[in-house]
Amino acid sequence: MKHRHENLYIGGTWVRPTTDRLITPVNPSTEEPLGSVPEAVEADVDAAVRAAREAFDTAGGWADWEPERRAEVMERFATELDARSERIASAVSSQNGMPIGVARQLEVGYPSAVLRYYAGLARTTEFTETRAGLLGGSVEVRGVPVGVVAAIVPWNYPQVLSTFKIAPAMAAGCTVVLKPSPEAVLDSFVVAEAAEAAGVPAGVLNIVPGGREAGAHLVSHPGVDKVAFTGSTPAGRAIAEVCGRLLRPVTLELGGKSAGIVLDDADLNPATIGEELVRATFTNNGQTCFLSTRILAPRSRYTEVVDLVTELARTLPVGDALDERTLIGPLVTAQQRERVEGYIAKGRAEGARLTTGGGRPAGLDRGWFVEPTVFTDVAGGSVLAQEEIFGPVLCVLPYDDVEDAVRIANDSDFGLGGTVWTSDAERGAAVARRVRTGTIGVNRYLPDPIAPFGGVKGSGLGRELGPEGLRAYLQPQSLYL
């Protein structure tokens, strides 16, 4: 399937790009080109910010609409996205290597649910509250939309991560300039089509596919009021520095190296624990920020845990992302595979022991595949135990007692997710509460749209999702009356 787009979605219409530069995404399962889209350069970003600015600043416009009216648009948008589910799922899967089954579960359906959830919150949130003044009179406290939002997303979950920003921004009355990542842009054109069909007013959503340069230009643009970023920790730091200098509000969802703590009472039968454990550790070929890639096992059951994880990894079907049977697809690019293979080499050099994987799967001559890989005998301070690999690579570390497990889990520069595996959910929750991360699951892990999602330490600043995610797009204004 060849995708070809010639114009950019800016100001509610399709406009000619400034240059003839193209982005040409490649299918990581086959190494075949998928088509082309225009690359937005600085002048296109300027046009998008202008359109978003105008839509936001116009009196009686989007920001001034009754929340109910915005909610109706958002619900229509969700319906139009649902009508394009299969196209979106296959576009995502063929660009970033996400197994099609995963794309159908997470990249479609879930984003429209998030839009509907925030449409609901737009209806029920009290945006204005009047308080009796302590010094006489009263004070009206209004939640005012923060303004034009620069939303910058990575390639691994282009739909989910865009909606985490667009939905609360729209509910709050903000307008958005979205910059997708060059590796996963085709699906953003389907989103633009859905927005157009839903009657999203001109300038409320603008899309500028481009690379780091376009992103950097957008972040520091004088017409932008807030930045919402998901991506790597180094890029997040660079963006935070710019926003710090500009005193520009910023939300950062960054990398992770989460711990999966297996307690000594866990049921290690693959039939009981297998599916959720695989989901929490390998989803999207390991290219998911919150995965529990450090498995912590009690010394008393270390061999059992290693055997279970090894067997699960060894039997995962690896193949073309568009094949329905595939659970592990390729890595997104050749460079990403090199990076992951570099980590595997470092792990070996550090003295960790491979129990399965470590190479390229047999029989797949094309595509950027890496075998699901498990390391044991991993030292706590090692590169393997500390750095985000972003591929299908797990390490299993032993612990002495729960105290030790919590210490190892917290011995990380990151703090995004985590899991606890146990037969006693209450005991699991008690352990989970001691882990310093923004989110954590007991016997499962899936971010729920009703609850804040995000990280501490190197995993980021601020939260998306839940009512907290809406607040990030509102600024309080106090009127003394």
Contact residues: ligand NAD, CB under 6 A: 152-157, 161, 179, 181, 211-212, 215-216, 219, 230-232, 235, 238-239, 253-256, 289, 388, 390, 416, 455, 459-460
51: three-class secondary structure by DSSP: helix
Q: Give the H or E element holding residue 92.
A: helix 85-96
| Alpha-carbon gap, residue 112 to 132, rounded angstroms | 39
Q: Are 255 and 241 in contact (CB under 8 A)?
A: no
> Residue 432 burial (CB < 10 Å; 0-12/13-18/19+)?
buried
Which position's Cβ is nearest ligand NAD?
215
- The residue among 398 and 458 lying less far from ligand NAD, judged by its C-beta, is 458
- The residue among 211 and 270 lying less far from ligand NAD, judged by its C-beta, is 211
Least distance (Å) between residue 153 CB and ligand NAD: 6
**Identity at 27, one-letter amino acid code:** N
Active site residues: 253, 289
> Residue 478 burial (CB < 10 Å; 0-12/13-18/19+)?
exposed
> Residue 2 burial (CB < 10 Å; 0-12/13-18/19+)?
exposed
- The residue among 123 and 212 lying less far from ligand NAD, judged by its C-beta, is 212
| Selection from 219, 213, 209, 293 nearest residue 255 by Cα | 293
Q: Are 436 and 419 in contact (CB under 8 A)?
A: no
- The residue among 123 and 346 lying less far from ligand NAD, judged by its C-beta, is 346
Least distance (Å) between residue 410 CB and ligand NAD: 18
- The residue among 11 and 158 lying less far from ligand NAD, judged by its C-beta, is 158
Q: Is 253 left (phi over 0), alpha (psi -120 to 50) or beta?
A: beta
- The residue among 298 and 417 lying less far from ligand NAD, judged by its C-beta, is 417
Pairing of strands 8-10, 13-15: antiparallel
Least distance (Å) between residue 332 CB and ligand NAD: 8
Exposed e or buried b per residue across 130-167, where buried means at least 16 C-beta atoms within 10 angstroms of its C-beta: eeeeeeeeeeeeebebbbbbbbbbbbbbbbbbbbbbbb
- The residue among 289 and 295 lying less far from ligand NAD, judged by its C-beta, is 289
Least distance (Å) between residue 181 CB and ligand NAD: 4
| Alpha-carbon gap, residue 176 to 16, rounded angstroms | 19
| Alpha-carbon gap, residue 280 to 286, rounded angstroms | 10
Least distance (Å) between residue 413 CB and ligand NAD: 12
